[in-house]
Amino acid sequence: MTIYARLIGTGSYLPERVMTNAELETSVDTTDAWIQARTGIQQRHIAGENEFTLDLAEAASRRAIEAAGINPNTIDLIVVATTTADRVFPSTACLLQSKLDIHGPPAFDVQAVCSGFVYALDVANRFIQTGGATRALVVGAETFSRIIDWTDRNTCVLFGDGAGAVILDAAESPGIYSTHLHADGDYANLLHVPKGVSTNLVAVQEGTAFVEMQGTEVFKMAVNKLGEIVDETLAANNMQYSDIDWLVPHQANIRIIKATAKKLGMPMDKVIQTVQYHGNTSAASIPLALDAGIREGYIKPGETVLMEAFGGGFTWGSALLKV
């Protein structure tokens, strides 16, 4: 019998503080008009001084657990996608496990930047399909604001903080049809934080290790690779563009999202769009958008959802599922 991983609950959390484009106009040489025209972003949420990735992950996880109506102790796998872990170690997943009072099952982080949630979903799906887990908590959580140079207009207008979580259960019917992952490390320097633990821990500790991006190069590659991966995903499942009910894309830039939707022939009202309100929350963006789509009543049980993401690495990936 084939085992599938089925979505039984979603949750998300956004920090209270909202930073508008107008606020950014006062600190860097930019305009609300430029940011909206070039990215679609109107505002983003920023974690409070004493609010950390773990806090965001915990709040989103508790909401997903509540939505699924399960006892947290029945979770037998925790995978957290994050680029902005609170500590070098232990992993955010282990810290989250303790907060949720879960003891024993495997818990680990996955790092694939903006593709992180799709990567984490792929890993959890494989655990469930092979009998290694029966109920997984998969989280995307980021405090990207902590690795942003707030004087660099090329990056600071783009990102925000947040978290999203899903509960996956072993089931006899889909569930996740397939996941597809790719990476090409030759492009590492186009989108990166050039310092890390082994190269400059002082910079990391002092909070001066910041995101650097060649935006236009990243943009072109993202449009190209996301176009390829939607074809790859549909071909793997013998599906047509018309079989997809909802596109839940990584929310980096409305122009990238529109390019993928156009390729799929999907009207924008079949695309969950949160980039306006969240900015780019990296690994959190897809589960945040998915949760919004479900809670606001757009995505309904039995519908087919295509998720796709592109990010630093470069990494890119997709997941096709029935909700």
Residue 82 Rama label (left phi>0; alpha psi -120 to 50; beta)? beta
Restricting to residues 109-148, name those near ligand UT7 by CB under 6 A. Answer: 114
Q: Counting contacts by CB under 6 A, is residue 253 touching ligand UT7?
A: yes
Closer Cβ to ligand UT7, 175 or 311, answer by number: 311
Task: Please calculate the CA angle 181-296-322 and round it to the nearest 5 degrees.
Answer: 40
Binding mask 197-216 for ligand UT7 (x = CB under 6 A): ------------------xx
250 Cβ neighbours under 8 A, 6+ residues apart: 114, 115, 280, 285, 286, 307, 308, 309, 310, 311
Query: Which of 311, 313, 321, 323 is the binder for ligand UT7 (CB under 6 A)?
Result: 311
Candidate list 97, 143, 280, 318; residue touching ligand UT7; CB under 6 A: 280
CB 216 → ligand UT7: shortest distance, Å? Answer: 4
For 133-207, strand residue ranges (E) read: 135-143, 161-171, 176-183, 191-192
Q: Which helix (H) or strand (E) holds 121?
A: helix 116-129
CA-atom Rg of the chain in angstroms = 18
Half-sphere exposure of 120 (CA within 13 A, CB side): 34
Rounded CA-CA distance 155/206 in Å is 19
| Residue tagged active-site, from 114, 156, 253, 278 | 114
Which member of 45, 180, 250, 278 is catalytic? 250
The span of 142-150, 152-160, 182-190, 237-245 binding ligand UT7 (CB under 6 A) equals 152-160
Give φ, ψ of 63 to 5 degrees: -70, -40
- In whole angstroms, what separates CA 64 from the centre of its chain? 15
Q: Which residues pair with 135 in a beta bridge?
A: 169
In the complex with ligand UT7, the residue whose CB is nearer, 41 or 294, is 41
Q: Which tokens hold the place of 80?
A: 């957290």
User: In angstroms, what CA-CA distances link 44 with 61, 211, 277, 281?
Assistant: 21, 17, 6, 9
**CB of residue 235 vs ligand UT7: minimum separation in angstroms?**
24
Nearer to ligand UT7, 6 or 250 (CB): 250
Q: Please, what is the minimum distance in Å from the beta carbon of residue 227 to ligand UT7?
A: 14
Q: Judged by CB under 6 A, which stretch of 59-67, 76-84, 167-175, 217-225 contacts ligand UT7?
A: 217-225
Q: Write a three-state SS string for 1-29.
A: CCCEEEEEEEEEECCCEEEEHHHHHCCCC
Minimum Å distance from CB 56 to ligand UT7? 18
250 assigned to active site = yes
Site mask for ligand UT7 (CB under 6 A), range 27-66, x = bound: ---x---xx--xx---------------------------
Count the site residues for ligand UT7 by CB under 6 A: 21
Tokens of 76: 């037998």
- Helix (DSSP H) and strand (DSSP E) numbers for the chain: 11, 13
Report if residue 84 touches ligand UT7, rule: CB under 6 A: no
- Nearest residue to ligand UT7 on Cβ basis: 215
114 assigned to active site: yes
Interactions with ligand UT7, residue window 291-310 (CB under 6 A): 310
* Residue with tokens 């390829």, as numbered in its chain: 228
Which positions are annotated as active-site residues?
114, 250, 280
- Footprint on this chain of ligand UT7 (rule: CB under 6 A): 30, 34-35, 38-39, 114, 153-154, 157, 191, 215-216, 218-219, 222, 252-253, 256, 280, 310-311
